[in-house]
Structure 1
Amino acid sequence: MPDVDRPRGWLLTVDGAPQSYVDLDDPECLEFEYVRRIAYALEAGSAPGEPVAAVHLGGGGMTVPRWLARARPGSRQEVVEADRRLAALVAEHLPLADPASVTVHTADARAWLATAVEASADAVVADVFGGARVPAHLTSVEFVRAARRVLRPDGCYVANVADAAPFAFLRSQLATVRAVFPAPAEI
């Protein structure tokens, strides 16, 4: 019989906006559609079953790092989360099953990329939000170039871009990515 006093998963909200859904018992439970799309892109962008060196810009509840650690054992992951309080809250209340496989940096994503080792990652996942928006300094060609510098030549760049009709922000971000990556795939 299930334990009815303990929730199956945890919904993390920041300023009222849902940010992450975490199931500590089943990291492969990807509740949000956008998280499933990130997972699909990471699967498509790397050899089946092989460990991945991933950089996650924006940590939230660390849903994607948890999933990647389960789906690709041996993966080496760097998580960059600017919100120190959020990182501390997640570490205390939603601990990682294998904290040794994930290094958490409390830093600004763009500043961290500037100091990251060149060609050190198989994947860079940009999933940074200030409330319900991507911070403006993380929407430029220079930011995407910094992410590309950290990627290996065959690496995968994935960005979560939230928008609504008429999709002006999405169109601008697609143009930004196309300026850096000649043939991006859209999922």
Structure 2
Amino acid sequence: MGELVVEVERSVATVLVGGLPQSAVDLDDDRVLHFEYVQHLALAVDALAPAGPLRVTHVGGGGLTLPRWVHATRPGSPQIVLEPDAALTETVRRELPLPRGHRIRVRPVGGEEGMAALADDSADVVVLDAFVDGRVPAGLTGVEWLDAARRVLGTGGLFLANLTDEPGLRWAARVAAGARESFGHTAFVGLHEVLKGRRFGNVVLVVSAAPLDLYTLRRAAASAALPTGVMPWSDVARRVPGARPMRLADGTTTPSPVPPDPRGWRVR
């Protein structure tokens, strides 16, 4: 792991590991999200998850930005965070203390081991936002791991994944194909320029066993501060025909593509 630094500028604390921005936390208001893809994760939760407290499992913790937001917007939500980097968690807890009354529990385990240990139907929302050296780990991209997430969510849950990909979204399409096999229904949410293949960037994969309410999701995207769109699976399949799920069993799982400038790329 590279050097761990927390930089504060005005009301924003940015967590950097090896010079790579990992998280941004608003010190004045946990409801304010500064990275656009974290805004997209929150947008999907607000649009598609039921009202009131939610049982949320986060795979990847960073600065615990999204858990803080869930606590602020859904008070009383029990949350589990799977974050193997204990030094990172210790630094975040010390320099960016969690709010009073939170129900956030951080477990020092990775996504594969941690997901396998969770009980069936123990979460309403599972969020994958895990990176190693700026890339989503290969072990979290296969159908086998997605099946484990499906087990933890049960029949009515929402799975969200922060993915990064090159123009064309070929790698992300393969993750979506696997999620479609495991769950049934998928869509992407992202900035228009990323969805249209104009640059490397983040997309949020939205997944459910039940049909997605694309109308509500599109309305939420249209109200976003930045130009945001929704790409249903039918559009993904037309743009990336023949996208096949990745599997640990046949050795086809791969991490996400290397960012063009890892030291300047925000991953969480």
TM-score under structure 1 length normalisation: 0.92
| Equivalent position SS for 2:158 | strand
* Alignment match, 1:181: 183
* Alignment match, 1:129: 131
* Alignment match, 2:109: 107
Match of 1:162 among 161, 164, 184: 164
How far apart are the structure 1 equivalents of 2:60 and 2:108? Answer: 10
How far apart are the structure 1 equivalents of 2:9 and 2:186? Answer: 42
* Alignment match, 2:260: none
* Alignment match, 1:37: 40
Q: Call closer, same or farther: CA 1:7–1:147 in 2, change over 3 Å.
A: same
1:181 Cα deviation after fit: 1.5
How do 1:1-187 residues align onto structure 2 when only pairs under 5 Å count?
A: 7-48=10-51, 50-98=52-100, 100-187=102-189
Q: Call closer, same or farther: CA 1:116–1:136 in 2, change over 3 Å.
A: same
Q: How many residues align?
A: 182
1:15 Cα deviation after fit: 2.3
How far apart are the structure 2 equivalents of 1:131 and 1:99? Answer: 33
| Equivalent position SS for 2:66 | helix
Q: Call closer, same or farther: CA 1:99–1:74 in 2, change over 3 Å.
A: closer
How far apart are the structure 1 equivalents of 2:34 and 2:161? Answer: 18
CA deviations on 1:21-49 (whole Å, 9 max, x unpaired) are: 1012200110011000100111122223x
Provide the identity percentage: 40
In terms of Rg, which structure is larger? 2
How far apart are the structure 2 equivalents of 1:98 and 1:109? Answer: 27
User: RMSD over aligned Cα, in angstroms?
Assistant: 1.5
CA deviations on 1:57-89 (whole Å, 9 max, x unpaired) are: 000000000000000011110011011111111
How far apart are the structure 1 equivalents of 2:9 and 2:85? Answer: 27
Give structure 1 stretches of 5+ with no counterpart.
none
How far apart are the structure 2 equivalents of 1:43 and 1:153? Answer: 19
How far apart are the structure 1 equivalents of 2:183 and 2:162? Answer: 16
| Equivalent position SS for 1:43 | helix
Give structure 2 stretches of 5+ with no counterpart.
1-7, 190-268
How far apart are the structure 2 equivalents of 1:6 and 1:137? Answer: 35
How far apart are the structure 2 equivalents of 1:63 and 1:162? Answer: 18
Match for 2:76: what amino acid?
G
